[in-house]
Amino acid sequence: MALLEVIGLNKYFDGFHVLKDISFSVEKGEVVVILGPSGSGKSTLLRCINGLEEIQSGQIKLNGEVINEDSTKWHLIRQKIGMVFQSYDLFPHMTVFENILLGPLKAQKRDKKEVARQAEELLNRVGLLDRKNFYPRQLSGGQRQRVAIVRALCMNPELMLFDEVTASLDPEMVREVLDVMLELAKEGMTMIIVTHEMEFAKAVADRIIFLDGGEITEVAGAQEFFTDPKTERAKNFLNIFNFKEYKKGVDNNEKI
Amino acid sequence: MDIGFILEISSLYLEAAKFTLKLASIGIILSLLIGLFCSLVNYYKVKFLKKIVNWYIELSRNTPLLIQLFFLYYGLPKVGIKLGAFTCAVIGLAFLGGSYMAEAFRGGLEAVSKAQIEAGLSIGLTKAQVTRYIIFPQALAVSIPSIGANAIFIIKETSIVSAISLKDLMFVTKDIIGIYYKTNEALLMLVVAYLIILLPLSLLLTYIERRLRYAGFGN
């Protein structure tokens, strides 16, 4: 049984059809990367999965259980689905440690000692244990994003959603965040990642979902998608990142 | 200037100052509660209540306190509701201050970004927990300066209750001027008394504001 199953999901924003009949599933331990041009609905799809956006029709199943009914207690579901945002969104009035402990202590009502031990261990893994009493404003963008990842991980989620987590970072900081995610993938964490980092997608993904205009136009294994995309749209999308033809001093006519 | 006279009347001012402070404290506390309630009703868009709250805020902010007090003290007995002068003053101050406090809280609540709320929800907190642990602390930090300004405003507004014969600082001053004709001494004492009450509060607020600014969130 798939860990997450999305069946016929439709989402409208004031009559605008953002997501059209989306269906896919994610197996336990799988890393799925969602690619697609801006405005294709990638982020909205992630937000639908943990209930930050309402959907108009379709089903979302977590471990076989439908989670988008009126009676759904989203705060309980979200404890199993971690999410990391583009703008980090750490709580600025709390220290790093307080940020991480808030969910496990208040939402999950876990034992403080146990949570603190886990939080320290996770911070240590992302290399930020010495920053645990800092406030978010005292950290760099990459450090904040790593804390945000730890904050989500400390809830022991079954599924992690990453929404363009490196999009507002300097190139050097992008690496430190991606390394943490690669590490997670290696450990078998189930992840759905929206990103524009193509090389990273290639390295981390088991499967690529290509979204265009609110529709899934292609689903393929990572290797297959990057070397031999089936649809014209995906081909064009991947070619945008190809600068070879524009090299200075090269006769461009040869290629055309 | 008659120093001896000033010393003689200082005990009267001490009594009056105590009364002013007592009235103002009750007024401020009630204003805070009313303000908090109103701002939450507005923030969570509670149907029906929201309309009443907005009517109240408009009514309270656009009528003078003196008229409100006259209405309570002289008007209500005509329809059979008799309230003591002190009760009238407390109700009047709370009625006035509540709307100002509501606006102060509103500013703070609106300053908390949607992203912060979503981040809170995404770690499995309930709406109530998000309000308590994320919205409130951040909103309060933004609201504190205007809450402080409102508190000072309410203290100063207490000077109007002398109009319904409550023995506050203003009342004592008018009394002394009426009996002894020592206008200069009485007015000087009035100003000094208000300064003694308000200056420390004002300085404390400046200090708190500065602390908050240094703690400036800036995510």
- Predicted confidence at residue A256, as pLDDT, reads 46
State the Cα angle at A153 between A203 and A78, rounded to 5°. 110
Token pair for B43: 């923030």
- pLDDT score of B217 more than 70: no
Task: Find the residue in A nearest to B133 (Cα).
Answer: A102
Ramachandran quadrant class, A14 (left: phi over 0; alpha: psi -120 to 50; beta: rest): left
- pLDDT score of A249 more than 70: no
pLDDT band, residue B115 (cuts 50/70/90): very high
- Predicted confidence at residue B212, as pLDDT, reads 76
- 10 Å Cβ neighbour count for B174? 13
**DSSP β-ladder status, A31-35 and A190-194:** parallel
Instruction: Number of helices (H) and strands (E) in chain B: give both, helices first.
Output: 9, 0
Q: How distant is the Cα of B121 from the closest Cα of chain A, in angstroms?
A: 7
Q: Does any CB of chain B come closer than 8 Å to the CB of residue A214? A: no
Report CB contact under 8 Å: A137, B134. no
Buried b / exposed e along B114-123 (16+ C-beta atoms within 10 A): eebbbbbbbb
- Predicted confidence at residue A195, as pLDDT, reads 92
- Predicted confidence at residue A111, as pLDDT, reads 95
User: Each residue of B168-213: pLDDT tens digit?
Assistant: 999 999 999 999 998 998 999 999 999 999 999 999 998 888 877 6
Domain A4-242 has CATH 3.40.50.10860: no
Report CB contact under 8 Å: B133, A102. yes
- pLDDT score of B36 more than 80: yes
Give yes or no for a contact between A69 and A14, defined as CB atoms under 8 angstroms apart.
Answer: no
User: Each residue of B9-22: pLDDT tens digit?
Assistant: 888 899 999 999 99
Give yes or no for a contact between B6 and B69, defined as CB atoms under 8 angstroms apart.
Answer: no
- 10 Å Cβ neighbour count for B74? 11
- Predicted confidence at residue A194, as pLDDT, reads 95
> Which carries the bigger pLDDT value, residue A77 or residue B2?
A77
Q: Does any CB of chain B come closer than 8 Å to the CB of residue A109? A: no
CA-to-CA dists, residue B137 to A94, B50, B95, B129, angstroms:
10, 23, 26, 12
Q: For chain A, which residues make up each domain, given as ranges?
A: 4-242
Torsion of CA A184, A186, A188, A190, to 10 degrees: 50
pLDDT band, residue A237 (cuts 50/70/90): confident
Token pair for B80: 């059979």
Domains within chain B, CATH numbers bracketed: 3-214 (1.10.3720.10)
CA atoms of A243 and A236, how far apart (whole Å): 13
Tell me the residue type at A256: I
Strand intervals (E) in A151-223: 159-163, 190-194, 207-212, 215-221
Report CB contact under 8 Å: A93, B141. yes
Work out the average pLDDT over B22-38.
Answer: 96
- Predicted confidence at residue B218, as pLDDT, reads 45
pLDDT band, residue A172 (cuts 50/70/90): confident
Q: What is the ipTM metric for this complex?
A: 0.88
pLDDT band, residue B54 (cuts 50/70/90): very high
- Predicted confidence at residue B29, as pLDDT, reads 97
Task: Find the residue in B nearest to A107 (Cα).
Answer: B125
Mean of pLDDT over chain A: 90
Task: Find the residue in B nearest to A78 (Cα).
Answer: B124
Report CB contact under 8 Å: B121, A75. yes
Token pair for A74: 């989203």
pLDDT band, residue A171 (cuts 50/70/90): confident
Token pair for B95: 């009625």
